[in-house]
Amino acid sequence: MDLSLLRRYGLITLFSVLFALGFDWLFVPNSIGLGGMTALGQTVNHLFPAVPVGTVVLVANIPLFLLGWKFLGGSVLISSLYAMAATSILVDLFDVLFTFSPMEPILASIFGGVLIGLSLGVIFAQGATTGGTDLIARLLKLPFGWLPMGKLLLGVDLVLLGLVSLVFGSMESALYGLIALYISSVVTDWVLYGMDSSKVAYIITREPRAVADAVLHELDRGVTVLKGEGAWSGEDRPVLMCAFKQRQIVVLKELIHCSDPEAFMIVCNAHEVLGLGFRRYQKNDI
């Protein structure tokens, strides 16, 4: 048995449960629109209570998955079918098994956005989607690769969120939903891009060899020497560039200070770092 495949589907299952729980616990009893195909399901369920939300989501996803098969390939589609079926079935199952009481809508919006964003981020990270606008956003990621997944989701979901507001006859439903959507998009992007908290340091020093050797041998990180020139002095001034993990910053600063107490260092956040010692590139990476 492939342990990596088992782990992948185990995570998809676990966070599909969390997604369904967050929706039934925090969104449904407070009449807060979630956006996307789930919003369509909420709309149909509100007009025809006998039709479950999850069933609407399953049916509405059929044409999207046919489109996804063409552009994303079988692997992404199969895992997405599983995630979509799991979340849809669990949403209907929890709705039958449990009755959740309403709470303060702003609390429901905030914590609902966190739960949904966390769930979607982990599911996306496993190469799957939950269907609907998640799949649309995944498709849009192909031509617009520079846009973060969370922001793509936010833009697509806003359209159907307006539909929920009209059907529920409440602007508050849409406004609370907008809060939840924004939080969800931020958390999704944090899970996908922020957990690998890497940094880039630019080091200007009169002892480039000593600093580079210390970083190479003590920190086990690569160093690139860039050619620089002092604007005032006109002297050649090598600039060392080094990518490293957030947890290594204290050791890095100590190494540089010991090698050259007068060194000048700039540390920047790195959105993504690909290569040896970091993440590897994967086709259709998000």
Give helix 74-97 / helix 62-72 axis angle, nearest 10°. Answer: 150
The confidence score (pLDDT) of residue 88 equals 84
What pLDDT does 149 receive? Answer: 67
Q: Which CATH number applies to 198-270?
A: 3.30.70.120
Q: Give the model's pLDDT for residue 196.
A: 58
Q: Taking all residues of the chain, what is their mean pLDDT, rounded to a whole number?
A: 83
In the predicted structure, residue 1 carries a pLDDT above the cut 80: no
> What's the pLDDT score for residue 127?
80
Compute, in degrees rounded to 10, the torsion defined by CA atoms 25, 30, 35, 40. 90
Lowest-confidence region among 71-80, 212-221, 244-253: 71-80
> What local confidence, expressed as pLDDT, does residue 44 receive?
83
Per-domain boundaries in the chain: 3-194, 198-270
Residue range 93-147, pLDDT digits in tens: 998 998 899 999 999 999 999 999 999 999 988 888 777 676 777 777 777 766 6
pTM across the whole model = 0.68
What is the rounded CA–CA span in Å between residue 146 and residue 8? Answer: 25
What letter represents residue 275's amino acid?
Answer: G
How many C-beta neighbours within 10 Å does residue 196 have?
Answer: 14
Distance CA 194, CA 210 (A): 32
pLDDT, tens only, 150-160: 677 777 777 77
